């Protein structure tokens, strides 16, 4: 059940050094794969080093061109460390299924993941900052931006937007059923895949919402 095992179609090096080298070899292939995965992701887990120790924090994310964008309060310590140019590693994982083999060893998960290494930059140009925040809204809540008022000056000042370039990036993908030796293939034990996905439930309007307000459509993945 290791997420480090079989990975057809993957660029999945085992260390940061090989990661970047292998990325360079497969850059075109990876861009398509990487973008498709990021474009389905709600959350990136962003790692930085603080006083020599790793810190991993989840952020809502969106791809904007060839960068991964996250945001938060200007008062958030971790985001400030990210924004100040500390090396970051942003990882996105889409869990697609549980793979039932007839042994624990060959059981697995289907998933698509992306690992990005790099330094973040603060998005401080006002127009670009607004574009990034609009992109975040419309990525997470498709079509929503058109229904919302513009951000105020105060809101923009209170919000920090950081962007991580998708240069040193790799994707890893596992698909398909169990991959196990013939001796294990016992018909009386169920083998196969149970798909998993993030799904949206019934929208719950608050008390203010008028009965004819347009209900958002959320796709999940």
- Kindly indicate which of the ranges 28-36, 105-113, 121-129 contains the residues binding its own copies, using the contact rule CB under 8 A: 105-113
Largest CA distance in the chain: 66
Calpha distance 57→197 (Å, rounded): 22
Q: Which of 67, 123, 134, 164 binds its own copies (CB under 8 A)?
A: 134
> Footprint of its own copies on residues 138-197 (CB under 8 A)?
140-141, 144-145, 147-149, 151-152, 155, 158-159, 177-178, 184-197
The binding track of 63-102 with respect to its own copies, each residue x by CB under 8 A or -, is --------xxx-xxxxx-------xxxxx-x-x-xx-x-x
- Rg (the chain; Cα; Å): 20
Considering the complex, what minimum distance in angstroms separates the CB of residue 194 from its own copies?
A: 5
Name beta bridge partners: 49: 54
Handedness of CA 135, 164, 65, 197 (dihedral sign): negative
| 145 to 141, 142, 211: CA distances (angstroms) | 8, 8, 20
Q: Is 210 in the site for its own copies (CB under 8 A)?
A: yes
> Footprint of its own copies on residues 10-39 (CB under 8 A)?
14-17
Q: Is 127 in the site for its own copies (CB under 8 A)?
A: no
Calpha distance 201→197 (Å, rounded): 12
CB closer to its own copies, 28 vs 130? 130
């Amino acid at each position: 059940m290791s997420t480090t095992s079989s990975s057809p179609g993957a660029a999945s090096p085992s260390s940061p050094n090989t990661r970047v080298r292998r990325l360079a070899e497969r850059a075109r292939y990876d861009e398509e794969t990487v973008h498709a995965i990021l474009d389905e992701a709600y959350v990136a887990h962003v790692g930085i080093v603080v006083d020599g120790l790793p810190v991993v924090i989840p952020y809502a994310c969106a791809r904007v061109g060839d960068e991964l964008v996250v945001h938060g309060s200007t008062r958030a310590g971790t985001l400030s460390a990210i924004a100040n140019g500390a090396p970051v590693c942003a990882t996105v994982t889409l869990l697609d299924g549980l793979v039932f083999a007839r042994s624990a060893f060959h059981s697995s998960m289907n998933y698509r993941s992306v690992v990005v290494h790099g330094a973040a930059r603060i998005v401080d140009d006002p127009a670009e900052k607004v574009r990034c925040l609009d992109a975040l809204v419309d990525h997470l809540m498709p079509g929503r931006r058109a229904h919302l008022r513009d951000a105020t000056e105060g809101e923009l000042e209170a919000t920090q937007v950081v962007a991580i370039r998708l240069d040193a990036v790799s994707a890893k993908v596992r698909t398909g059923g169990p991959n196990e030796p013939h001796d294990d293939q016992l018909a009386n034990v169920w083998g196969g895949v149970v798909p998993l996905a993030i799904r949206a439930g019934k929208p719950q309007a608050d008390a203010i919402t008028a009965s004819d307000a347009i209900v958002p459509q959320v796709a999940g993945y």
